[in-house]
């Protein structure tokens, strides 16, 4: 019943997206305080290098991040393909110098929105399936009643079993829809929101740099975007940056 409804409501690419996204719903968020601390540290070092040597000074780092000594210090960020692609793409645009801060912000917003909508594709598929499960349960109950009506000449013990079987269909439909698929879709939605937050952090930090704010201030812009549960405090970040500088 579940598989029939799911395949009827999705395209093959959506099915693949659901299969890929499902394991993430059962894992903790990979975007924790340690990851954001590493990201902010990377941005700080990039901005300092830009301020000292200009945008062209990071061209080699951006063109080949895997070979860059700067990026190698931050393995968690380098390992995230989407984050690295977003960061390096917009750093290249900054190096090109053809876009102002306003145009860059609009482009980033479109990019982040596209990423978020793509993350929502498997969520919407599960929500549609969850919404349809109670209806399938009702259909199962009706079919069970029809079967029972054809056996009215049977003893009460047999009729009781048939009615119970009909009600089980309704129970399963409601249980799978509201107690399994719907909570699963909500958890996946939370993961999608967390996945978009890191891009917003990069966006505001890069825009602050384009507006000529000092590196520490630009990084602070990025820190302020983060959720309070993952956001390092100002003192934590400052101490961490001082430790990195002392190495």
Dig out the tokens for 53 from the structure: 């040597």
Q: What is the pLDDT of residues 6-46, one digit of tens each?
A: 555 566 677 677 777 777 777 777 888 999 999 999 999 99
Q: SS3 sequence, 27-76?
A: CCCCCCHHHHHHHHHHHHHHHHHHHHHCHHHHHHHHHCHHHCHHHHCCHH
- Cβ contact 180:82 at 8 Å: no
pLDDT value of residue 187: 81
Give the separation between CA 123 and CA 18, rounded to whole angstroms. Answer: 8
pTM for the model: 0.76
Q: How many CB atoms lie within 10 A of CB 157?
A: 7
Q: What is the pLDDT of residue 128?
A: 80
Per residue in 95-115, pLDDT (tens digit) is: 987 788 899 999 999 999 888
What token pair was written down for 38?
């590493």
Could you report the per-residue pLDDT of 176-187, keeping only the tens digit for each?
A: 888 888 888 888
Question: Within 10 Å of residue 231's Cβ, how many Cβ atoms?
Answer: 20
Strand, helix or coil for residue 80: coil
Mean pLDDT of the 49-70 span:
91
Ranges of H-type helices in 74-214: 75-78, 81-96, 101-149, 156-174, 182-210
Q: Do residues 236 and 37 touch, judged by C-beta distance below 8 A?
A: yes
Tokens of 48: 């300092």
Mean pLDDT over 142-162 rounds to 77
Percentage of residues in the chain with pLDDT exceeding 90? 39
Q: What is the mean pLDDT of residues 75-90?
A: 93
The angle, 0 to 180 degrees and rounded to 10, between the axes of the packed helices 182-210 and 12-25 is 90
């Amino acid at each position: 019943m579940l598989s029939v409804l799911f395949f009827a409501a999705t395209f093959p690419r959506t099915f693949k997206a659901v299969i890929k996204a499902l394991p993430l719903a059962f894992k903790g968020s990979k975007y924790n305080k340690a990851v954001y601390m590493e990201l902010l540290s990377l941005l700080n070092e990039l901005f300092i290098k830009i301020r000292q040597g200009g945008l062209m000074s990071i061209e080699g780092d951006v063109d080949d991040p895997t070979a860059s000594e700067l990026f190698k210090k931050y393995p968690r960020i380098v390992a995230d393909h989407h984050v690295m692609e977003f960061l390096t793409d917009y750093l290249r645009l900054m190096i090109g110098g053809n876009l102002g801060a306003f145009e860059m912000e609009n482009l980033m917003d479109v990019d982040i929105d596209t990423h978020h909508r793509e993350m929502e594709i498997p969520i919407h598929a599960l929500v549609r399936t969850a919404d349809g499960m109670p209806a399938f349960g009702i259909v199962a109950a009706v079919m069970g009643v029809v079967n029972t009506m054809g056996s009215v000449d049977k003893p009460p013990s047999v009729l009781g079993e048939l009615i119970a079987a009909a009600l089980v269909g309704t129970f399963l439909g409601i249980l799978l829809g509201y107690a399994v698929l719907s909570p699963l879709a909500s958890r996946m939605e939370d993961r999608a929101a967390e996945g978009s937050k890191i891009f917003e952090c990069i966006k505001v930090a890069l825009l602050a740099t384009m507006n000529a704010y000092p590196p520490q201030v630009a990084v602070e812009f990025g820190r302020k975007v983060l959720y309070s549960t993952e956001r390092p405090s100002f003192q934590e970040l400052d101490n961490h940056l001082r430790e990195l500088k002392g190495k």
